[in-house]
Chains A and B, each alone.
Chain A
Amino acid sequence: MDPIEGLLYGFGVALSFQNLAAALLGALVGTMIGVLPGLGPVAGVAMILPLSYAFEPVTGLIMMAGIYYGAMYGGSTTAILLNMPGESASVMTCIDGYQLTKKGRAGAVLALVAAGSFVGGTVSVVGVMLFAPWLAKLGILFGPAEFLALAGGGLLILSRISGGSFAAGIFPMSLGLMLSTVGQEAITAQNRFTFGYLELAQGVELVAAVVGLYGIAEILTLVESRRAAPPPVPVRLREMLPTKTEWRRSAPSFGRGTAVGFLFGLLPGPSAAMSSFASYRLEKAVSKYRDEIGHGAVEGVAGPETANNAAATSSMVPLLALGIPFGSVTALMLAAMMVHGIQPGPLLMQSNADVFWGVIASLYIGNIALLVLNIPMIGLWVSMLRVPRHIFLPIILVIAVIGSYGVGNSMVDVYGLILLGVVGYLLRKLDFQLAPMVIGLVLGPLIEKHLREGLFMSGGDLLVFVESPIALGIWILVALVLAGGALAPLLRRRGANDRSSP
């Protein structure tokens, strides 16, 4: 099936009533999650994960994808109106977005963000459509050594570039791997670290872990302050029309943001947040109006917001083509596939063409849904920001408990939710990164599987993991990234010393 045929087939899948409703509902719920503080895209997708088990696999995945990019858009609303980023990818949007709100251009900026998100998402889908099948064909050549290099190396890179110091990434990553070994292992059905509790044989529940680490930890942070957020500026529909100049100035930023976002989405790491940061820096460097950026320029919003949506979309490529998630949300989508018995990887395109092409087609539909829903409904999203936190926080907490219990009908998962919530809260206070922990938890079983398969197949020869050119190439790349990360601070310090010495 070539990409055009595949896409047409995908539209046939995605345009069924059930899947269309899932895309629309996902975009709607995602925007709500992004707008409300306390739940970001990761915790939001995690909470929907148990519900997705009740649907057909493709329906569940379409809904999860809709929530992801809906939450990306919703997060930018609070960044622009309240100077509060709804999630990490909207941090850069606060700078110019809030300045523009103070100048009375909130409505126009929200419209530009919706348009930029649509452009970034849609163009990125074209890239996904063309690139994912090509990568999947390459992936068919992969064996345990290549997959181990990709999963293990990707995890190492992620832990290194997620932000913070070396230990701030590697320590949570190793904790995530450790948690992944709890429960019955797949090859010999041996129970590990269960201490005689049968409920632990299923392993650490991903939903409870993610909602705890992201949701509960965020809520504990939110209640630290008694002060509620200031009321948002009211935005009327007629104020949402950008001027011709604003459109003209935003257009190049849409293009640059799309390119940056698409590339970052293919790499391990918090691609949406990193791409918005890189896009902002790019706008500062090349935009014709770069001197205005930081003081309320549309380029400072249009570029990063386009980039983060493009990255959210292209992050599906490694998941769909290789079965390797490079981010927390795609890790959750991988978990959803595995629960449904779908083997993610290069053969997905053949074995589950409906899932592969249906999800890609749904990305188009989801982007249109976001545009259609968000511009007319902006008043609703703004009014949601007026819901007092003493109402929405208990709602989120009750749903978190029900969601964690509902996956395996086990109170152990709920206790894990609270425990990991506290762990996440404390680790965040110390600036540790949580994404490597989640991805370590998801990738741990895959890494173990490929490690043991490689040893079985090679008769115990460890060199098998670096013998193939692809595996060796990936490990060299990983080593370069890690070495670069270690050397960069030393070089910066040396440069600073040279400048300060007479």
Chain B
Amino acid sequence: MGKRGGYLVTGAIGAALSAGYLALAARLPLGAMDQPGAGVFPVVVGVLVLLSSIAVLWEGWRMPAEDAVAMPAGVDAVRVLALLGLLVGYVLLLPWIGQLVGSFLFCLLVIRLLSRTPWPWIALQAAAIAVTAQLVFVRLLQVQMPRGILGF
């Protein structure tokens, strides 16, 4: 898809989003002019999102078809999607497997994705990152990360 297509899709998503948002905003109390309610500002914002989405559509419509977007292709696209997949998997599993184990597994797979380092060396690097993060953030700075079923 070229830049023109990207703009048209973005504008259409924005318009749909603004329609849904405005429908929800209309259910909020609007109050009166001298007593504006919680719905007034969202209605103004919803209209702004709608108008700006139309501006995106308009610019997309007038854009030359040959304008390109530098999106990754082939193995590069697979690498980006794989990293995104690992990130999604990490945050979805985090409440169950906990910060320490989750970070270790995540780092293990990310390092493997981005390098050809042998597995034992990768495991050592991933463990170093996960344990350091645990010590600094959870123990030292007292960030209450999910502990998971293993309790850490």
Contacts and interface: CB of A to CB of B under 8 A. Distances in A.
B33 A223 contact: no
Given A174-B45, A398-B103, A430 B6 contact: yes
B111 A429 contact: no
A142 interface: no
Interface in B72-129: 72, 75-76, 79-80, 83-84, 87-88, 90-91, 94-95, 99, 103, 106-107, 110-111, 113-115, 117, 125-126, 129
Contacts of A50: 143
A391 B38 contact: no
Given A174-B45, A402-B133, A167 B58 contact: yes
A187 B49 contact: no
Contact of B144 (A409, A429, A460): A409
B42 interface: yes
A409 B144 CA distance: 7
A3 interface: no
B149 interface: no
B147 interface: no
The secondary structure that dominates the B interface is helix
Given A193-B24, A430-B7, A422 B59 contact: no
Given A167-B56, A177-B48, A402-B145, A192 B42 contact: yes
Interface in A405-464: 405-406, 409, 411, 414-415, 417-418, 421-422, 426-427, 429-432, 444, 447-448, 451-452, 455-456, 458-462
Interface string A383-410: 0000011110111011101100110010
A188 interface: yes
Given A171-B52, A224-B79, A427-B10, 9 more contacts: A171-B10, A174-B48, A175-B14, A390-B110, A393-B114, A394-B106, A418-B87, A421-B87, A430-B6
Interface of B: 3, 6-7, 10-11, 14, 17-18, 21, 24-25, 28-29, 32-38, 40-42, 44-46, 48-49, 51-53, 55-56, 58-59, 69-72, 75-76, 79-80, 83-84, 87-88, 90-91, 94-95, 99, 103, 106-107, 110-111, 113-115, 117, 125-126, 129-130, 133, 137, 141, 143-146
30 contacts: A54-B141, A167-B56, A167-B59, A171-B10, A171-B53, A174-B52, A181-B45, A219-B83, A223-B79, A223-B80, A390-B117, A391-B129, A393-B114, A394-B111, A398-B103, A402-B145, A405-B143, A405-B146, A406-B141, A411-B94, A411-B95, A417-B91, A429-B70, A430-B7, A448-B41, A452-B40, A455-B36, A458-B34, A460-B34, A460-B35
